[in-house]
Structure 1
Amino acid sequence: MVLRLLMRYLANNEQLIQRMAESYPMRRAAQLAVALMYRTKSLAREQGLHEMTPERFKSFVNMFKNNVRQELEGVKKELNSKKKN
Structure 2
Amino acid sequence: MVLQFLIRILANNEHLVQRLSESYPMRKAAQVIVRAVFSGKNFIEERKLHEKLTPEQFRALMNEVAANFQNKIKQAHESIKGKMK
- Regarding TM over 0.5, the answer is yes
Aligned to 2:56: 58
* Cα distance, 1:28 vs structure 2: 0.7
* Cα distance, 1:49 vs structure 2: 0.9
- The question of 1:42 aligning with 2:42 is answered yes
CA offset digits 1:49-75 (Å, max 9, x no partner) = 12246xx23246569x8xxxxxxxxxx
TM-score by length of 1: 0.59
After TM superposition, which residue ranges in structure 1, 4 or more long, deviate above 3 angstroms?
Answer: 59-63
Larger radius of gyration: 1
- The question of 1:14 aligning with 2:2 is answered no
Alpha-carbon distance between aligned partners in 1 of 2:36 and 2:11, rounded to the nearest angstrom = 27
> Which one is further off, 24-33 or 43-52?
43-52
The count of residues paired between Structure 1 and Structure 2 equals: 63
| Sequence identity (%) | 47
Structure 1 unmatched ranges of 5 or more: 66-85
Structure 2 unmatched ranges of 5 or more: 64-85
* Cα distance, 1:30 vs structure 2: 0.7
The alignment yields a C-alpha RMSD, in angstroms, of: 2.7
